[in-house]
Structure 1
């Protein structure tokens, strides 16, 4: 259902408010540059600082601007099952094609609790669910054996895996089947992830380099591995530089460098990247040929 280069979209702010005009232009640029799908309101979209009303507005603006040209996978994560059900209903009403749902954070359920959380979401909504494991942020993981259980639940269609464990691609292929969409959540590891059976990436770097990331994904999906390796070498410094400070500070800084009309404004508690981070981003943008 989902494959290729899927940017985890940043959310532009202007004077602390959601800048819908800039966001719609950004969505249009992403589609024109070849992105295969879009994720609004993920971690990179500063969803933790958006109100429920703002989140609904961002998702609706993305769906309306995409106008069916590419799928929209709405970020709907949370650590309260009933609240996530409400977010998924809002995304469904807005016309999203699926929900990206991160593992519950802070309250740290065990694996039975993780399974029950997603099972309840699937029972409450017909919106397809893409699991999202990123234990470096949430502490809670979705273990491979739990992914295998969840793959049997109607409506659970794939996973964004930011565990950093490439071996899971093979484990998931064997337990979930090849129809279960495995999407990388670590840009720097995506080449290996794709070689092992992944079908795409929900990408931070694609915010800044959508054409290069789309070309990279197309090369992987078509088995043009030497070309994919060349693009990996071109993009790797950027993959690293965008995480030299708290995300999405470096990403918004990079976007503002290549698209000055796009504000680098963040919402507290996020603050602008350090000078060292900015220098790393500048060098990586030059290496990638983006400036």
Structure 2
């Protein structure tokens, strides 16, 4: 469930600034229809840094309710506060959530040891599968391969969403980590290259409006058919499909 084309779902709001449940249902139905592999609810694309705690929980639980088991839901539970990340993660235990996506603490700019201790604390507080998320251009800190390798030793830290755009990270991580560990691109622009180097999928912003297109391309990539995947990518670009951007 954590491979191929996954979507970093937006959080639709009405004019009063409340969750628009009708629009959310339309989005979820769209991804079910187009066979998106999984939905990430309230990741950073879903306004995780701006929703208050109650809104955050409500969006994820509403997403779960609407999806009704038809598509896996991954909860964005990251925060720049370790205690808040733990609180959010524990909130979704036994809820039906398939796993959690945890962004590095933004603004705080912790050291590598600080990052290790942050994710260690979250991992030890839950049995839910955890996917690390590294996007230094937005958070101000970079989770380095050596630290990721240390964290991969925790049984429920199962992978990383890498939005650095640095393709050398794939080979570094594959060298450092011996167990099965998911390498997921968070940079739509370089995702095919990322997968050809050994990645397993993408958590995509583009998929919000081009789910069928992304599904076809990254299914081909999973099959190892990168020639056809690139031809399809070029064809869709000529047809003025949405341009790629970093998540």
TM-score between both structures, scaled by the size of structure 1: 0.80
Contact 2:73–2:98 (CA<8 Å) still a contact in 1? yes
Q: After superposition, what is the alpha-carbon deviation per residue over 1:27-54, rounded to whole angstroms, capped at 9, x for unaligned? A: 1111111100110101111122211111
Corresponding residue for 2:50?
A: 49
Corresponding residue for 2:5?
A: 5
CA–CA distance in structure 2, aligned partners of residues 86 and 74 of structure 1: 13
- SS of the counterpart of 2:26? helix
Measure how far apart 1:216 and its partner are: 0.6
Q: After superposition, what is the alpha-carbon deviation per residue over 1:144-202, rounded to whole angstroms, capped at 9, x for unaligned? A: 00010000012100000001110111111122236201100000101100100111000
CA–CA distance in structure 2, aligned partners of residues 149 and 235 of structure 1: 40
Q: Give 1:1-291 correspondences, 5 Å limit.
A: 2-15=2-15, 16-177=17-178, 179-234=180-235, 238-240=242-244
Q: After superposition, what is the alpha-carbon deviation per residue over 1:186-221, rounded to whole angstroms, capped at 9, x for unaligned? A: 001011001001110000000010000000110000
- The 3 A distance-change label for structure 1 pair 97 and 86 is same
CA–CA distance in structure 2, aligned partners of residues 70 and 179 of structure 1: 23
Aligned pairs, number: 243
Runs of 4+ in 1 over 3 A off after TM superposition: 234-237
Corresponding residue for 1:256?
A: none
Contact 2:14–2:20 (CA<8 Å) still a contact in 1? yes
Contact 1:187–1:205 (CA<8 Å) still a contact in 2? yes
Contact 2:210–2:242 (CA<8 Å) still a contact in 1? no
Q: Cα RMSD between the aligned structures?
A: 1.6
Point out the structure with the larger helix share: 1
Contact 1:56–1:94 (CA<8 Å) still a contact in 2? no
CA–CA distance in structure 1, aligned partners of residues 96 and 73 of structure 2: 8
Unaligned runs of 5+ in 2: none
Unaligned runs of 5+ in 1: 248-291
- SS of the counterpart of 2:202? strand
